[in-house]
Amino acid sequence: MSEETQVLFGELRDRMLRLYPQEVRECLAKLTDDRIWWRPHAAANSVGNLVLHLTGNLNHYLGRGVMGSGYRRNRPAEFSETGPVPREDLMRGFESAMEAARQAFDQCDEKRLLDTADLGPESMPIGQLLVAVTTHFSNHVGQIVYVTKMLHEGVFDEELWQRVRER
């Protein structure tokens, strides 16, 4: 890879595989099972729904699109679940999806970034897909952090992202 591509790809990889997932893990560790599934109103998503959604998103776009896993997503189920799904099951699915993401990133070199991710009507170049998945993940991690802070005053005594970044 060119130096420029290495810098950009390295930053995407670090955020997607280390920083953002660690923020999710830390938030889940601070919430009770009931609070993981709390919704402010019926049309809102719980932290649990957001974790299911991130899991489905990774399995679909990176597992299926990059790795060719054949995963078939049920996106509506990610949001309709009211829980409580046992924390261990929620985390097992999330960690499995993170492993698929790791494998997808490991398979990408500069040439592969221009290959098309096989997603039917959603197909796009893998490089574009990695950016889209990472920014989507970031958005929902921000929601998870916000809800965690809202439900658990003083839960993070400093900026979570800064603490995770320093590791």
Q: Taking all residues of the chain, what is their mean pLDDT, rounded to a whole number?
A: 91
What pLDDT digit, counting tens, does each position of 30-79 carry? 999 999 999 999 999 999 999 999 999 999 999 999 999 999 999 999 99
Tell me the average pLDDT across 9-21: 94
User: For residue 2, what pLDDT is reported?
Assistant: 82
pTM, two decimals, is 0.91
Largest CA distance in the chain: 49
What pLDDT digit, counting tens, does each position of 22-43 carry? 999 999 999 999 999 999 999 9
Q: What domains lie within the chain, and their CATH numbers? A: 3-165 (1.20.120.450)
Spatial contact of 52 and 80, defined as CB atoms under 8 Å apart: no
124 sits in which H/E element: strand 124-125
Tell me the average pLDDT across 88-104: 97
Nearest-angstrom CA–CA distance, 167 and 162: 9
User: For residue 5, what pLDDT is reported?
Assistant: 80
pLDDT at 155 over 70: yes
User: For residue 4, what pLDDT is reported?
Assistant: 83
